[in-house]
Amino acid sequence: MTTLATGPRSGAAPAPVPPRRRVPLSGLRRLRRHWYAWAMVAPVVVVLGVLVLYPLARGVFLSLTNATEMNVGRTIGSNEIPPSYDFVGLDNYLDVLSGAEGAFYSRLLWTLEWTVICVTLHYTIGLGLALLLNRALSMRGLYRMLLILPWAVPPFVAAFGWRLILNDEGGVLNAVSRSLGMGTVNWLGEPFAAKISVIMVNVWLGVPFMMVALLGGLQTVPRELYEAAEVDGATPWQRFRAVTLPGLRPVSGTVILLGTIWTFNQFPVIALLTGGGPGGATNILVTEAYERAFQGIRDYAGAATYGAIIASMLVVFASVYRRWLARQTSEVLG
Amino acid sequence: MRHPRDRSRSRRPLSSAALHTTLVGASVLAVFPVAWVLLTSLKTDRDNWARPDTLGTLGLGNYRQVLAETQFTTWFANSLIVAVGTTVVGVLIAATAGYAASRMRFPGQRPLMWMFLVTQMFPAAVLIVPLYNVLSDLGLLNSYGGLILAQCTVAVPYCGWMLKGYFDTIPVSIDEAGRIDGLSPFGTFWRLIVPLAKPGIAVTVFYSFITAWGEVAFASVFMQSEDRYPLPVGMGTFVSDFTAEWGLLTASSVLVMIPAAAVFFLVQRHLIAGLTAGGVKS
């Protein structure tokens, strides 16, 4: 998986192409040479083509129109109503990006806060637990099993469970803080508290993945390096900085990238815990787009515009991140 | 794990206690919500979910009600069909594509890997409206097939990427030996590589099952009649603005966690091996 971290450079390394292959093959010979590969790839290409690429193109098209539930073509009984929406060019994007339509920048800010806080906590807590579990320790297997548990819980179940715990009336969290003499908080009903709640739940859900991945990474760091560092008199902190972190870099790079994308797109936690509320305060871009598409008068064009903006931000982020990571890695390696 | 650094065995008792305290604390935090749901599901007195300090009578009443008086079993079957379908279809086509990308050089290889990577980034929100139209054109709305295909858009790219990485760690000499013994490329894949790649495949199976089992956005839009609802949508109806049947909700939550946890603990032995193989090879 970390091929994605090192990028195209490593892919180019093995097996120099023999010059003979440079001669363009005729269609039939290409087919004969590659048909196995193509046959094995074909199902994926068909599925992704029909279900991802075509919808994507259509989504981009919709974002350039003013399509809503009221004007797309549909069939009612035996009457077919033709679509009556118009092409409006970049108007939707201008509306959203100029701030004229309102919610975009506050949603974006919160989405960024949400992503950065969640991924930072996922990574640091996951790494901390992985370091603890990587030691010689009695009951390691038991701890690991218990700590992995949140990962085995489907997010929607977790969201329901946490709603029960955080509930304003009769939630156990408020009951505990009341009996400790502290005030109660309307965890899901006040904007700031609701933001803390969704972050808390998402951290709870996401730490095990990081922990397991980093634990796997830790076990591949050569033991001799630690011994050498110890012989050289390095303190535990120095060993961590100089051996552990660089050794983890390939794994860290991948899991942080994946974690960022997953968190940025995290739908169930927010949709089921707060429904984006109160008053849209916890809506990240993804849930906002979904709300536009499927609540009230369905604003297909608006949702598609949000979707296109989200997707392009992620693509830009991923390519910048990969380039940065490749540079870091090559600096470390020499 | 204990061999070279025996000194760590003789850790000072104080730091050992701190270590265990931290881990116990973290484990409690990890387990508590699940345990709380379990406990609440056993409270049979109505409205006792809202009294955290009262237990009342414990019993299986909520479970009986969920199984007998609601459509829970239908929703459960719907979710199971979709999750298993997605896993089978997704892992199968991702495995063949991942193998081809790992072993063969062919035109279109690079765009394929690029597509795996990029499609992982698309949130459901980007695809959901046009996908809705596509499925509606194909007549697949409100059908298992449609939702399975939609879930595959999430599962396939990740599985393909992951399995390609895993296949890369299996020596090519094994393929060559198979070819010399007269196996076709597909036979080599099926008889030699798939058995060797079991840990990696287990991880992708787990991943796609869990993703499809817990997916909410597609599920709540593409399935429209109550008898086709998957679990997240159906269970959501227990606790809405109008009702608060937390007893039913927690009982069904426990019933939902069981298959997920079963799959989880079946594959968790392979989990670390698979993730590591995917992650370290670079």
Residue A90 lies in a domain: no
pLDDT at B26: 92
Residue A38 lies in a domain: no
**Counting one residue from A and one from B, how many pairs have CB atoms under 8 Å apart?**
319
Q: Tell whether the model's pLDDT for residue B5 goes beyond 70.
A: no
- ipTM score over 0.90, yes or no: no
Q: Tell whether the model's pLDDT for residue B281 goes beyond 50.
A: no
Spatial contact of A161 and B253, defined as CB atoms under 8 Å apart:
yes
Q: Tell me where in chain B the CATH 1.10.3720.10 domain(s) lie.
A: 70-280
Give the CATH number for residue A235. Answer: 1.10.3720.10
Residue A272 lies in a domain: yes
Residue A292's domain comprises 105-333
Spatial contact of A156 and A288, defined as CB atoms under 8 Å apart:
no
Q: CB–CB of B149 and A51 under 8 A?
A: yes
Which single residue is written with the structure tokens 């961590």? A240
Average pLDDT over residues A290-318: 83
Report which DSSP code applies to A17.
P
- Per CATH, the number for B70-280 is 1.10.3720.10
Question: Rounded to the nearest 5 degrees, what angle is found at the Cα of B165, between the Cα atoms of A42 and B151?
Answer: 50
Q: Does B117 touch chain A (CB under 8 A)?
A: yes
Q: CB–CB of A51 and B29 under 8 A?
A: no
Q: Tell whether the model's pLDDT for residue B71 goes beyond 70.
A: yes
Average pLDDT over residues A102-118: 90
Query: In chain A, what residues touch B117 (CB-CB under 8 Å)?
Result: 4, 318
pLDDT at A18: 46
* Confidence bin at A321 (pLDDT 50/70/90): confident
The total of structural domains in chain A comes to 1
Residue A7 lies in a domain: no
Q: CB–CB of B23 and A50 under 8 A?
A: no
Q: Tell whether the model's pLDDT for residue A311 goes beyond 50.
A: yes
Residue A20 lies in a domain: no
Q: Determine the residue type at A326.
A: A
**Helix/strand/coil (H/E/C) assignment for every residue in B200-263:** HHHHHHHHHHHHHHHCCHHHHHHCCCHHHCCHHHHHHCCECCCCECHHHHHHHHHHHHHHHHHH
Average pLDDT over residues B53-79: 84
Which of A33, A48, A197 to probe by mutation at the B interface, max B CB count within 10 Å?
A48
Across chain A, what does the average pLDDT equal?
Answer: 80
Share of chain A above pLDDT 90, in %: 12
Q: Tell whether the model's pLDDT for residue A114 goes beyond 90.
A: yes
Q: CB–CB of A153 and B265 under 8 A?
A: no
Spatial contact of B125 and A306, defined as CB atoms under 8 Å apart:
yes
How many angstroms separate the CA atoms of B227 and B139, rounded? 18
Residue A52 lies in a domain: no
